[in-house]
């Protein structure tokens, strides 16, 4: 059976998904110190699930208190939250054990508590408060939902537990480097077995330094991972009553001479940006919908998806590994201003988030690029310090992948020197320069040409270039013989023009069209540029119903149009 990786086959794990007791409070001013007597818990809520898509709390902001019971048999515990929003305080037996201020990010909390029955409460707050949740602001162009977006697990830990592994491809002929991170009572040396795939276990003894051990090995039957042939390997480490199983792919990725090379061969990335969103589920997408999204990406002939603008569901990454879809993974950020970039709370949130993201996804072969700060103020001189710090930190945490960020600052951007891949979000012909032009599709090619010429003049010719967003709004079902803005026709014509450009220019390493599906956005006057209060640039609408543009893009990405079919 395939499920989330890593797995801990010998560990007692409480899967806490299901129906929890619930109560909502719009008035709670300090959710870290709730007035427990005022909480009735007479409602029920699904976990995972968000409270602000359901009547009667749809669209409301406040604190949702989720409560369940769990019976433990050991005292070293780890609570794994695979993603929630926007902010949460976690209580065991009414004692605060952790605060999660990193929306969408998988985090965990370690704590001790005597074996027995416990009350677990997660107080989730969805108010837009920069002090509490510096990583999500009112102006972000997607709805900040309140609730537990993804699975919750409680792990009972051994005295010395295997926490996670990093598996690196050292050579394409099957040599890998493995690093195991341990916690608890950690020995100086560890004897364990290591089993790759169905091979016989190998006995290994390794020294433990600063809570981790490392070794190298060669696979007996190496098979490369690629989008065309997404072959996966597993490795299992085991000692006494502890074991960890991780899945990985044998592949390399690097930026060189203006190209991205996967297993030494140049890539052309054809894909879309993807929000995890649905009108009924918000970001708490059921597995079937994740699978359906992958099915649509494959139907479109995408080999690439940009996980905009936060860490995607870990099960989605598992599916991308399995189906050979390359992923740009990025942390939360959206148009952050200089005031944010220089704010200590925002900076600390960004750094903490990066650490979790890298450790959660290190072994996914599908993840080939790491990004940060979508459309941050990359013209700001004081803001540059955070770009420097995040770039350096990403390289330190994960030297195996190229890094990038999506800029909308064109020739005014001052940070492109810091990254391996230059990425531009551009909407020529949509947010048009000439506001009087009727159907200004002619703006697309010159705008991209100008930027490419500038980039190469600046000496960035060796950096691959990705159009990380480009698109137009099309309202599902709105057909118009004028082929005007907001019609499905204009969107299809626009993306036809874009795809012709991307596919015929070698200097463009790839594209992530904006966007895969429509999604709910602002609940304020910001929505005046967003009919229905949705971002309508999806190739499918919010219920995944394909628009005209879907077929246009499918015909380009599949090569049908280039072959004259």
Tokens representing 273 are 């940006």
Give the residue from 423, 393, 425 showing the smallest Cα distance to 405: 423
Out of 375, 377, 413, 488, the residue judged to bind ligand ADA by CB under 6 A = 375
- Secondary structure E strands in 59-100: 63-72, 76-81, 84-85, 87-92, 95-100
In the complex, minimum distance from the CB of residue 75 to ligand ADA, in angstroms, rounded to a whole number: 45
* Contact code string over 482-521 relative to ligand ADA, x by CB under 6 A: --------------------------------x-------
Omega before residue 213 within 30° of 0, cis: no
In the complex, minimum distance from the CB of residue 334 to ligand ADA, in angstroms, rounded to a whole number: 6
287 three-state secondary structure: helix
- Can you state the percent helix, strand and coil of the chain, rounding each to 5? 20, 35, 45
In the complex, minimum distance from the CB of residue 311 to ligand ADA, in angstroms, rounded to a whole number: 16
- Sorted by sequence, the CB contacts under 8 Å of residue 335 that are 6+ apart come out as 139, 140, 141, 374, 375, 376, 377
* Contact code string over 442-481 relative to ligand ADA, x by CB under 6 A: ---------------------------x------------
In the complex, minimum distance from the CB of residue 406 to ligand ADA, in angstroms, rounded to a whole number: 6
Give the residue at shortest CB distance from ligand ADA.
141
Out of 374, 380, 415, 487, the residue judged to bind ligand ADA by CB under 6 A = 374
Kindly state whether residue 404 participates in binding ligand ADA, applying the rule CB under 6 A. Answer: no
CB-wise, 120 or 472, nearer to ligand ADA? 472
Mutual orientation of helices 444-457 and 488-504 as an angle, nearest 10°? Answer: 30
Kindly state whether residue 408 participates in binding ligand ADA, applying the rule CB under 6 A. Answer: yes
CB-wise, 390 or 513, nearer to ligand ADA? 513
Tokens representing 42 are 């007479």
Out of 537, 554, 555, 556, the residue judged to bind ligand ADA by CB under 6 A = 537
Tokens representing 533 are 């209060």
Distance between CA 416 and CA 503 in Å, rounded?
A: 24
CB-wise, 126 or 407, nearer to ligand ADA? 407
Kindly state whether residue 425 participates in binding ligand ADA, applying the rule CB under 6 A. Answer: yes
Tokens representing 23 are 């109560």
Out of 21, 141, 329, 497, the residue judged to bind ligand ADA by CB under 6 A = 141
Tokens representing 347 are 């900076």
Give the residue from 64, 43, 136, 150 showing the smallest Cα distance to 107: 150
φ, ψ of residue 452 to 5 degrees: the values are: -65, -40
In the complex, minimum distance from the CB of residue 77 to ligand ADA, in angstroms, rounded to a whole number: 38
Interface size with ligand ADA, residues (CB under 6 A): 9
What residues make contact with ligand ADA under the rule CB under 6 A? 141, 374-375, 408, 425, 469, 514, 535, 537
């Amino acid at each position: 059976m395939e499920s989330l990786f890593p797995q801990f086959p010998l560990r007692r794990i409480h899967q806490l998904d299901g129906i929890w007791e619930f109560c909502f409070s719009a008035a709670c001013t300090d959710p870290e110190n709730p007035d427990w007597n005022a909480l009735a818990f007479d409602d029920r809520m699904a976990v995972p699930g968000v409270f602000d898509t359901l009547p009667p709390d749809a669209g409301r902001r406040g604190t949702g208190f989720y409560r369940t019971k769990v019976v433990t048999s050991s005292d070293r515990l780890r609570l794994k939250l695979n993603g929630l929003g926007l902010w949460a305080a976690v209580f065991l037996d009414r004692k605060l054990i952790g605060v999660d201020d990193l929306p969408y990010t998988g985090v965990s909390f370690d704590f001790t508590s005597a074996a027995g029955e416990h009350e677990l409460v997660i107080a989730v707050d969805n108010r837009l408060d920069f002090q509490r949740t510096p990583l999500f602001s009112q102006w972000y162009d997607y709805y900040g939902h309140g609730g537990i977006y993804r699975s919750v697990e409680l792990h009972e830990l051994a005295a010395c537990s295997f926490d996670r592994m990093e598996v690196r491809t050292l050579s394409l002929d099957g040599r890998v480097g493995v690093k195991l991170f341990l916690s608890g009572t950690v020995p100086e040396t560890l004897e364990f077995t290591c089993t790759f795939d169905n091979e016989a276990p190998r006995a290994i003894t390794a020294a433990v330094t600063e809570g981790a051990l490392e070794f190298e090995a060669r696979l007996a039957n190496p098979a490369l991972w690629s989008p065309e042939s997404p072959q996966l390997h597993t490795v299992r480490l085991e000692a006494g009553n502890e074991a960890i199983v991780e899945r990985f792919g044998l592949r390399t990725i690097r930026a060189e001479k203006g190209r991205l090379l996967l297993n030494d061969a140049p890539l052309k990335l054809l894909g879309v940006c993807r929000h995890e969103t649905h009108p009924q589920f918000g970001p708490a997408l059921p597995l079937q919908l994740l699978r359906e999204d992958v099915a649509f990406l494959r139907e479109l002939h995408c080999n690439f998806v940009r996980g905009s603008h936060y860490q995607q569901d870990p099960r989605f990454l598992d599916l991308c590994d399995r189906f050979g879809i390359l992923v740009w993974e990025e942390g939360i950020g959206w148009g952050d201003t200089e005031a944010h970039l220089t704010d200590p709370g925002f900076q600390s949130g960004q750094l903490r988030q990066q650490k979790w993201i890298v450790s959660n996804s290190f072994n996914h072969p599908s993840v080939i690029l790491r990004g940060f700060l979508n459309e941050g103020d990359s013209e700001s001189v004081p803001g540059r310090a955070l770009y420097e710090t995040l770039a350096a930190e990403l390289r330190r945490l994960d030297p195996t992948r190229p890094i990038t960020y999506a800029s909308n600052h064109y020739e005014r951007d001052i940070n492109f020197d810091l990254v391996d891949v230059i990425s531009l979000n551009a909407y020529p012909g949509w947010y048009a320069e000439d506001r009087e032009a009727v159907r200004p599709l002619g703006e697309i090619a010159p705008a991209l040409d100008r930027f490419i010429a500038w980039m190469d003049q600046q000496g960035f010719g060796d950096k691959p270039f990705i159009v990380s967003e480009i698109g137009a709004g099309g309202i599902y079902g709105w057909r118009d013989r004028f082929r005007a803005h907001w019609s499905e026709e204009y969107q299809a014509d626009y993306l036809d023009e874009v795809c012709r450009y991307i596919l015929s220019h070698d200097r463009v390493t790839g594209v992530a069209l904006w966007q895969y599906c429509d999604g709910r956005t602002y609940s304020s006057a910001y929505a005046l540029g967003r009919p229905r209060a949705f971002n309508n640039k999806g190739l499918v609408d919010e219920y995944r119903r394909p628009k005209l543009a879907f077929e246009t893009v499918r015909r380009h990405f599949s090569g049908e149009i280039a072959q004259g079919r």
